[in-house]
Every structure is written in C-alpha cells, then in structure tokens.
Amino acid sequence: MAGCASGVVKVWDLGGQANDVTLWGHTKEVEGLVLSPDGRTLVSVSTDVRVWDLSSQRELIRIKPRSTRFFGCSFSPDGRRLAVGALDGLITIWDLASRQEVATLKGHERPVIHVSFLSDGNTLVSVDQEQVRVWRAASLTEADSAPGKLAQP
C-alpha cells in the first residue's frame, strides 16, 4: 500500500492473485494507511478519513470531524474501532459499525503521528514527535454501560 502526495492510494497484490487497486478521493497528501484485520477494508487519512472496500474499490465512509490533517491510523484487532491521530494533537476513535465517534483523547501537545491498538483491543499507543502515550480504552461492554467514560491515559 502507498499513499501519494497527489491524494491517490495504490494497493499492489504482491502474490499475483488479485488485481492491483488505485483509489482516488483525497485532494491532499495521504498521511496514513491501515488495512483491516480481515484484509477487506482499507483506511486512508489526509485532511479527511476515508474507509474503502478493496474488492469493489468503493468508498464506504468519509469522515471529516474537524479542520485538521490526520496522520497515523489503526484498527482494533476485531476491526470494530478505528483510531486516528491528528495535527491538532487529538486522537479520535470511531465505532465503524455505527459510524459514531466514541472518544476523543487529549493529552498530546504536538501532532500525533502514529497510533496502534495492542492485541487486547483496549489499549492504544500513540506517538508524537517527543513522547509516547499509552491509553486504556473502555471495552465495548464498558462503553455501552457507562457512556462518557471511555478512556484514561
């Protein structure tokens, strides 16, 4: 996978079993890419966040929650949540099934350039230019029973 300065996303099948994919949509440089755990969905981030179905090469979801540039992105291991870091130092987490924002994490003073869910699905690591933070996000069960108390550093 590669995100280009022109906004184009390219995906190559190195095994030669499927067609290569070119996705158009972003108008600015693509700053981050992540493939879903099942390999069927790709997320690309730029000045917006786009979720793509690779088999149909169609955009499924387009999100622009605020005016900023987005960088690192990560799927939770079950593929239900998406975390995205941003130039403004915030991390946004969405539930993809409901297309709802479930948390905005504040704590970085610099652009969040990388985020990664750990294998437990409830721990997120974020990186800016000077620090690494570890966040414990509420499980889906906890989030459903106590809205508003979704994450703590």
- The DSSP annotation for 32-80 comes to EEEE-TTSSEEEEESSSEEEEETTTTEEEEEE--SSS-EEEEEE-TTSS
Per-residue model confidence (pLDDT) at position 143: 62
Q: Give the total residue count for the chain.
A: 153
**89 residue type, one letter:** G
Is residue 30 a contact partner of residue 3, using CB atoms and an 8 Å limit?
Answer: yes
Helix (H) or strand (E) holding 141: helix 140-145
Residues contacting 129, CB < 8 A, separation 6+: 110, 111, 113
**Domains in the chain and their CATH numbers?**
2-152 (2.130.10.10)
Residue 27: strand, helix, or coil? coil
CA angle 96, 139, 69 (to 5 degrees): 45
pTM attached to this predicted model: 0.84
Per-residue model confidence (pLDDT) at position 65: 84
Q: Give, for all 153 residues of the chain, the pLDDT tens digit.
A: 999 999 999 998 777 666 788 999 999 999 999 999 999 999 999 999 999 999 899 999 999 988 999 999 999 999 999 999 999 999 999 999 999 999 999 999 999 999 999 999 889 999 999 999 999 866 666 666 655 544 545
